[in-house]
Chain A
Amino acid sequence: MSVIDCVRVRHSYTPATPVLHDVDLAIGDGERVALLGRSGSGKSTLVRAMLALEPLASGAIHCDGRVVTPGPVRRLRWFRRLVQYVPQDPGATLDPQARVLDIVAEPLRRLCGVTDRARLTAAAATVLEAVGLPAALHTVRARDLSGGQAQRVAIARALAPEPRLLIADEPISGLDAPLRAHVIDALRHASASRGTALLLVTHDVSAAAALSDRIAVMHDGRIVEDRRTGDLLAAPDHPETRALLAAVPRFPA
């Protein structure tokens, strides 16, 4: 059964220029999907729509058998618990003054209704360990974290409510190589150990290859190809896919 199912999703910021044309995309439990496309292809708009941050012109987004539409925070809590989000440069979305444990506990408190302080702390600590953040850093303020540590905390925050799907929007663009490794590592670990489904939005073919079972290629607001990662990389069908693959710089493995 799919966690999220986009059916003929259409969107436009201004009536004259549609951004999404009847997009269909479903992600199953535990599945790791990469949404690949160049800048301006409509990836980010699709993500915003899938996160119920953007109203649709037509079509629908279903999650767990329910229709999802933008609305007040209170009405969407059930959905936020099932689908969490890792933004671009996630470390920058931490409150510099807040302590790591409190940051991770916040979605647990708001989405899962955990109020007991001891339970909150224990649950937050578990998630933080899962992303590889040493216990000594759990009580530190976010401003005192290094770049890699901050990225891990942000991912832990998204994982804390134990979502069934994690949507990561260009989580590694703008980061240097070691930081990318940190983030990819944490995401891969999360999906492997918890069976969390993953939607990785990226323009980076190597990241898509490293982290996905399936790749959906987006071009001009349409999904032009959607196949198993190995097949797609081995024999790309669509010219856009070929163009994206051709643009990848090759390094010795």
Chain B
Amino acid sequence: MTATKVKIKSPSRYGRSRPAALAAGLSRAGAVAVVVAVVGLLPWLSGRDPALTVLRGRSAEQEATPEALAAVREQLGLDAGPLTLLGRWLGGILRGDLGASWVSGRPVLPDLLRATGVSLTLMGFAALVALVVTAALTAPALTAAVRGRQRRSGGAAAAALTALPEFLLASVLLLAGAVALRAFPPYGWDSAHHAVLPALALGLPAGGLIGMLLADAVSRVAGEPWTVTWATAGAGRARTVAALLRRALPGLIPQIALVLIGLTGGAVAVERVFAVPGLGRVTLGAAQTQDLPVLQGGVLILLALGVIAGIAAELLRRAVLGPALRAASLPVAAHTPAPHRGLWITAGAALAVLTALIAAGLAGDPYTADRGRLAAPSWDLPFGADASGRDLLARLGHGAALTIGAAVLLCAACLLLGLLIGLLPRTATGPLEVANAAPPVLAGLLVAAVTGPAAGAAAVAVLLVGWAPLAAHTVTLVAEARARPHVAILPVLGVGPARALWRHIVPTILGPLTRHAVLRVPGIALALAALGFLGLGPQPPTPDWGLVLSEGMPYVERAPWTVLGPCLSLVALSVLAVTASALRRAR
């Protein structure tokens, strides 16, 4: 790997200077403090009477008389006021005491640690599945690269994999693997056998996304000049593959960490479907019963896991990229591969499906229950009717405007926010790591706990964490751009830092960043749908895709069309978004 040396940067800028490290440290401490304070103040922020929750949780029959409430308050020391409560809670954390559950009265920490162990085991199995899927998706790009060619990824299969919502995949796997084939146990967590289906439900979408990103990166790297040198020097196949991966991985490591952290969010739904006693299920349950000590503890542990993973990923990235990042000698790809013609057809087909769905659906009435209950699909009713006898096609068509529109708007907002925050890597470190560590479902739990479930709450929750992957990508792209010779020489040409950033660095990173953002539209639509599915988003009778899907779930055996329609719509949307992003040239 040879590259031109341009010695422009001064040595003082090679490493991180002391003020920079200090800024990053302050940013981390500040972000953590804010989040911990928000979590600690949840009971107060939500504006609900915690005593009422406790009383309801302990005994449904007992009437919430003022006397009963006062007794509970006194028992739990809730009279002290929010700030004292926060102080007491923080003091407890320092002593390793997360308090006692309001519902069961048991200490929170031991139960949560047991659940964390279960979740980590499940995530380990899921990561194994993801690894296999990633290898399968990256193999074609690597094979092409070893033969000296560049190849676009963007298979419809990969796109569909990333679009499969964990909750739906989990349900389908449950029906197919446990109910129909009887090959695996449907519920519980007693043996490795129990882990197969949940691990598949979690690992397949993660592997799809990582595999697609990695295949893309390998294709890009295959265009760099050193590959030709290696090929003509007779480098072996295995060594070339290793080198390609080593060069392609650093830019992706933060995103891979992100996907792995996202497994915690996916685990909430998957653990619920398969009744796995993991952290996600416990935390969601706590949110539903308003058992705030358990919710606070669960959220804290999930965040801590994420922050640790994020830091580990950054250390790994630095280790892999090594001196090349500091010595202004990263090679530049001579050309990016031209898009595959088949992609146009795939994208066109997906677009046609969605357009037809919306056009046909918007003509119908999504709210009136004038059809037969769970009516089967017919010429008149192409997608059948739901349990209330409403036209599913009409609901999906109207829901498309909601879900896709909201997802596109949110995605644009996330792109802008991610770019701006990513350009300030020092101050952004803390918020970035925290937002990265929080899957949308977790943010949804927090926001819904404060504002109550609503469409706006779901959007805010998605925006709160959705900018983070794009900001993380911006940080790595900017770091790589600064290491290139044509950027390193700019100070000598009189180009100041601001102009270097806006005119020379940002334009080169906008392409890959926008591709990444477009790639996330289905993910954001799915996050919204997942929040709707879990009851944290739009409320009935809104025809939100997630809601429609969750309303159909109980009838999936009797009337599969109740989930088939929303599912196909989301898959079509995802295929469109992914192929569209593959069609965009690097710039």
Contacts and interface: CB of A to CB of B under 8 A. Distances in A.
Interface of A: 13, 44, 48, 51, 53-55, 70, 72-74, 76-77, 80-81, 84-85, 87-89, 92-97, 106-107, 110-111, 143, 157, 161
Contacts of B335: 143
Contacts of B491: 53, 73, 76
A110 B494 contact: yes
Nearest to B489: A93
Nearest to A45: B7
B150 to A, nearest CB: 15
B237 interface: no
Contact of A97 (B10, B492, B587): B587
B493 A88 contact: no
A-B pairs with the 5 shortest C-beta distances? A110-B494, A92-B4, A111-B494, A73-B496, A95-B486
B8 interface: yes
A94 B11 CA distance: 23
Contacts of A157: 493
A77 B486 contact: no
Nearest to B4: A92
A7 to B, nearest CB: 21
B504 interface: yes
A161 B492 CA distance: 12
Residue of B8, B10, B487, B492 contacting most chain A CB atoms (<10 Å): B492
Contacts of A85: 489, 492
B5 interface: yes
Given A70-B10, A88-B4, A143 B494 contact: no
Contacts, number: 75
Contacts of A77: 494
A106 B334 contact: no
Contacts of A87: 6-8, 485, 489
Nearest to A92: B4
B233 to A, nearest CB: 18
Contact of A81 (B494, B495, B507): B494
Given A87-B6, A89-B4, A97-B587, A80 B334 contact: no
A97 B508 contact: yes
B5 A88 contact: yes
Contacts of A106: 493, 495
B261 to A, nearest CB: 34
Nearest to A111: B494
Interface of B: 4-8, 10-11, 332, 334-335, 485-489, 491-497, 499, 504, 507-508, 587
A73 B4 contact: no
Nearest to A80: B494
A94 B332 CA distance: 11
A93 B7 CA distance: 11
A41 to B, nearest CB: 15
B486 A13 contact: no
A87 B335 CA distance: 24
Nearest to B496: A73
Contacts of A70: 10
Nearest to B503: A106
Contacts of A88: 4-6
14 contacts: A54-B10, A55-B10, A73-B496, A88-B6, A93-B6, A93-B486, A93-B489, A94-B486, A95-B486, A96-B486, A97-B508, A107-B493, A111-B494, A143-B335
Most chain A beta-carbon neighbours within 10 Å: one of B6, B508, B587 = B6
Contacts of B496: 72-74, 110
Given A72-B496, A110-B499, 14 more contacts: A13-B11, A44-B7, A48-B7, A48-B10, A53-B7, A55-B10, A73-B494, A73-B496, A76-B494, A80-B492, A95-B486, A95-B504, A95-B508, A106-B495
Contact of B495 (A51, A54, A110): A110
A53 to B, nearest CB: 6
A84 B492 contact: yes
A14 B201 CA distance: 56
Nearest to A73: B496
Contacts of B495: 73, 106, 110
B2 to A, nearest CB: 10
Contacts of B494: 73, 76-77, 80-81, 107, 110-111, 161
A70 B12 CA distance: 12
Contacts of A44: 7
Nearest to A51: B492
B6 A92 contact: yes
A73 B485 contact: no
Contacts of B334: 96, 143
Given A92-B485, A93-B486, A95-B486, A110 B493 contact: yes
Contacts of A13: 11
Nearest to A87: B6
A93 B488 CA distance: 8
B558 to A, nearest CB: 57
A114 B230 CA distance: 45
Contact of B10 (A53, A74, A94, A111): A53
Contacts of B5: 88
